[in-house]
Structure 1
Amino acid sequence: MKYRHTRAPFTRARALPYRRTPALVLLSLLQFLIAVDVTVVNVAVPSIGARFGADAASLSWVVTGYTLVGGGLLLLGGRLTDLLGQRRMFLVGAALFAAASLLAGLAPSLEALVAARFAQGAGEALASPAALSLITLLYPEPAERARALGVWGTISAGGLVVGVLLSGALTQLLHWRWIFGVNVPLAAAVLLLTPLFVRPDGPRTRSGRLDVPGAALLTAGPLTVVLGVIERNGAVLAAGCALLAAFVAVEARTKNPLVPLGFFAHRTRAVANAATVLLSAALSATFYLLTLYLQNVLQFTPLQAGLAYLPFCGALLAALALVSRLVTTFGTRRSALLGLAATGAGLAWLARLPDHGGYPVDVLPGMLGVAVGMGVGLVALQNAALLDVDASDAGTAAGVQRSVDQLGGSLGLAVLVGVAGAATGAGAGFRTAFLWALVGVAVAAAGVWALRKG
């Protein structure tokens, strides 16, 4: 099949097999960098605080600001993708992410660093739904799409672990500023190579105004909620909830919503996105809390704590290598249930963490269960969340899926870490947080179980 010189809408016919693979690699590479920046600052936070003389509360925004702004703007990114084109928005987002990474590495103050982290999140919000919708359109068949999403998920999830290792190594051997600087040449390579393997966008058939008020409310709402949780301020928390309620009201009345509320009339997609919120909340909190347990209770050094995640990474990669076969054989519903069950088993094990435990017996088994559940569950739910989409709404569907993943993880992290901090005793807080995470995963499994079609 040959390409024509007309700018036809993006379809599978426009992506020859030999071009699809390098395109998938490039799309996944940027997502890898995005995932790295979710966790790369965790180990470096003490060094950043020492440089700027900042307290723990101020430093928390360096960690959560990135994911909150990214998650809040992802729906706007999905809408822009549908309106302006997948490749175009992917390149714009990649350029913004690269520029923000450079600014973060050169930041002269904490305020400048947090602002650069916000800009990184905005770059992700433009690039991530565009990348996911491009993959959806490049691989339209369920089986091959599951394989492609497995590759994308493998590289992305690997970035979370690499972020911890990279942060410890660069901070100890070079300087914490390099954790942001390494993004620049790799993002530049993505910008240069993507036009060679991803065809230009065709003429856009959708029009309409952007829902800027909705995007502002969806960003400000979670930021305010997390601020209320961190500060334990009920008034601020209530204000955040009010902003989220206002977002729903705006979406119901505007002519050009970020996502039409009717989008969630598709039952499978609605349940998949809701389950993703709860699963992502559990996974983000688990990753963060285990890092604290390893360093504060087991007295691991930052680099040792990063190396302790190598078995987690191995189990995750193994699960991701099998998930496409599981989806093909058992369907998305049963595969998602399997992933949620594995996550629940891991959380149940971690919910018994002793005050003075050991890594091989008390941490590793639960860590492996969560890793398998993450690899299978998130990809299966992601596949279900993109069910029945086409070129007209692929960006919206991808934006919704990525948004609930990001915001679910950020809000879950804030809530469960708050629960852990409120408890007394070296291990009591960890046990309580993991128990509540287990409850959330059980609710997600109940919702998926209620779906009749796999």
Structure 2
Amino acid sequence: MLLADRTRPASPWVALAVLSTSMLMIILDGTIVSVALPALRDDLGFSATGLSWTVNAYLVPLGGLLLLAGRLGDLVGRRRMLVAGLVLFTLASLACGLATGPAMLVAARAGQGVAAALASSVVLGMVVALFPEGSDRARALGAYAFVGAAGASLGLLLGGVLTEAVGWRAIFLVNVPIGVVAVVLALRVLAPDPARVPGTRPDLLGAALVTLGLASLVFGIVETSWVAAVAAVALLGGFALRQARAAAPLVPPAVLRSRSVSFGNLAQVLTVAAMMGFQFATALFLQQVLGYSPGETGLAMLPVAAVIGVVALRFAGPVIARFTARRVLLAGLGLLLAGFAVLVGVPATDYVTQLLPALLLLGLGAGLVMPSVTSVVMSDADADTAGLTSGLANTGQQVGGAIGIAVLAAVAAASGFRAAYLVAGVLVLAAALVVALALPRERLSTP
């Protein structure tokens, strides 16, 4: 898959389409496996505990490597990182589809996770570079946010349809032609990376500490391991000390001193935790309570993705440009709160009259929240730190998703689905308080 570099000048919107397609392929694989788990267990002979590693083997390296990969993208070139990640992702997907046993599938899923970190860590920084300012950037970030927010729902849909119609191998093998096309288009459409600055190198000790720390954190969340959680705290604490003393820190202190970056990421972690936990809990609710099949579950979740797409692609950009990202973010969080209030207050035994209205409210809210919080987080990024800031944003999404799924699944199992939705609402309320009290108003219009 080594292709000659024949980049041609292209519209930034064409480049955005290539980046969005690449990102969508990666995000789909975070959830596409969920509805195929019974088929994987029956066909490959997974144990009950081993089955969870078809998901965890993807999430742990992805969460652990995003920050380092984003910084490496700043140093060695973002297009290089993207193409390398897409090539590896395509090969790992092929290995998943050809797996003959649990060990081979889990190893290949880990390869997918590493590849996803390499590719996805730099995409947001590349989008910001394509659209330096104004309403075009807001619309581009709306497209990026749609891919991120709706991709999980689409993964459930495609996973159910492909598993029922073709078999579980199809959910992986479908990535192969898409990946090949994405690599070819990336090399032909995306601008070449600028020349590397001689002597520039990452802080290797800091890189090791943050990668192991984040991987331990994600592992501790998904496996409910206190040992891993304690190790994560120690490693990330060591990373913070290292950054304070290193001559060339992996994360320059100025990046974290930005309130838009730090508090914007905190709001994102809380919101993503609520939404990813909601999607996981609702998929269980539809199958366990309403008796839906995997395919029917995916179709039932489709309205969320559809509404997010309409709002994020058509309306979010102009609204952010007119009213500022902070105000739109608060409005979107209010809609999310309303959606969770409906889920808490209504039994939701009927899909059309009780569950669907809540799904539509949540889709409206997420369609406004994700572009606006992305605009906030990236508002202070420059050419030297866009990859790092992008990596931070993606790390926040992964950590938030892992926390949300773990917490809401545990609450649903112990106290029921209404209690899980109540917890999700509390997370959204906390995000709204962070936005209202901590984000700087004067710096939140679309850059």
Aligned equivalents of 1:391 and 1:88: distance in 2? 16
Q: Does residue 434 in structure 1 map to residue 427 in structure 2?
A: no
Whether contact under 8 Å (1:88, 1:201) holds in the other structure is yes
Q: Which of these residues, 183, 194, 197, is aligned with residue 202 of structure 1? A: 194
What residue in structure 2 maps to residue 188 of structure 1?
180
TM-score if structure 1 supplies the norm length?
0.89
- List per-residue Cα deviations over 1:47-76 (Å, max 9, x = no partner): 111123223332222223323321221111
Q: Pick one of 372, 376, 397 that aligns with 1:384.
A: 376
Q: TM-score, normalised by structure 2?
A: 0.91
Whole-Å separation in 1 of the counterparts to 2:47 and 2:354: 32
Partner of 1:62: 54
Cα shift at 1:379: 1.1
The question of 1:341 aligning with 2:328 is answered: no
Which runs of structure 2 are paired with 1:48-87 in the superposition (5 Å)? Answer: 48-87=40-79
Inter-partner Cα distance in structure 2 for 1:363 and 1:430 = 12
Misfit runs of 4+, over 6 Å:
none
The alignment partner of 1:43 has SS state of helix
Unaligned runs of 5+ in 2: 1-6
| Deviates most, 220-229 or 135-144 | 220-229
| Alignment counterpart, residue 406 of structure 1, candidates 398, 404, 429 | 398
CA distance in 1, matches of 2:411, 2:151: 27
1:195-240 CA distance string (max 9 Å, x none):
2211211112375433444444444445544554555554444334
Identify the residue that residue 5 of structure 1 maps to in structure 2: none
CA distance in 2, matches of 1:449, 1:45: 41
The reply to whether residue 445 of structure 1 matches residue 432 of structure 2 is: yes
The 1:15–1:397 alpha-carbon spacing in structure 2 relative to 1, beyond 3 Å, is farther
Alpha-carbon distance between aligned partners in 2 of 1:240 and 1:32, rounded to the nearest angstrom: 29
CA distance in 2, matches of 1:42, 1:231: 16
Specify the alignment match of 1:9 in structure 2: none
3-state SS of paired residue (1:201): coil
Superposition deviation, residue 46 in structure 1: 0.7
| 1:229–1:418 contact (8 Å) kept in structure 2 | no
In structure 2, C-alpha distance between the alignment counterparts of 1:247 and 1:436, rounded to whole Å: 31
- Percentage identity across aligned positions? 39
1:26 aligns with 2:13: no
Instruction: Give the counterpart of 1:324 among 312, 317, 322.
Output: 317
Deviation at 1:80? 0.8
Matching residue's letter, 2:126: L
**RMSD, aligned CA:** 2.2
Given that 1:220 and 1:243 are in contact with CA atoms closer than 8 Å, whether structure 2 keeps it comes out as yes
Contact 1:316 1:371 in 2 (8 A): yes
Q: In 2, Cα distance between the equivalents of 1:229 and 1:95?
A: 29
Distance, in Å, in 2 between the alignment partners of 1:70 and 1:233 is 18
Which residue number corresponds to residue 307 of structure 2?
315
Partner SS state of residue 272, structure 1: helix
SS at structure 2 position matched to 1:308:
helix
How many residues get paired? 434
Deviation digits for residues 17-52 of structure 1, max 9, x if unmatched? Answer: x52122111111111101110110011011111123
For 1:363 and 1:215, how far apart are their aligned partners in 2?
45
Residue identity matched to 1:191 = V
Residues of 2 paired with 1:387 and 1:219: CA distance?
25
Instruction: Find the counterpart in structure 2 of residue 372 from structure 1.
Output: 364
- Letter of the 1:323 counterpart: A
- Indicate the residue corresponding to 2:244 in structure 1: 252
Gaps spanning 5+ residues in structure 1: where? 1-13
Per-residue CA deviations over 1:136-179 (Å, capped at 9, x if unaligned) read: 11100132111111122223434322211211122112120110
SS at match of 2:419: helix
Given that residues 305 and 363 in structure 2 are in contact (C-alpha distance below 8 angstroms), is that contact kept between their aligned partners in structure 1? Answer: yes
SS at match of 2:416: helix
SS of equivalent to 1:135 = helix
Matches of 1:233 and 1:126, distance apart in 2: 26
Query: Does the aligned pair in 2 maintain the 1:72–1:218 contact within 8 Å?
Result: yes
CA contact (8 A) 1:64 1:410 kept: no
Residue in structure 2 matched with residue 165 of structure 1 by the alignment? 157
1:132 paired residue among 105, 124, 130: 124
Whether 1:352 aligns to 2:339 is no
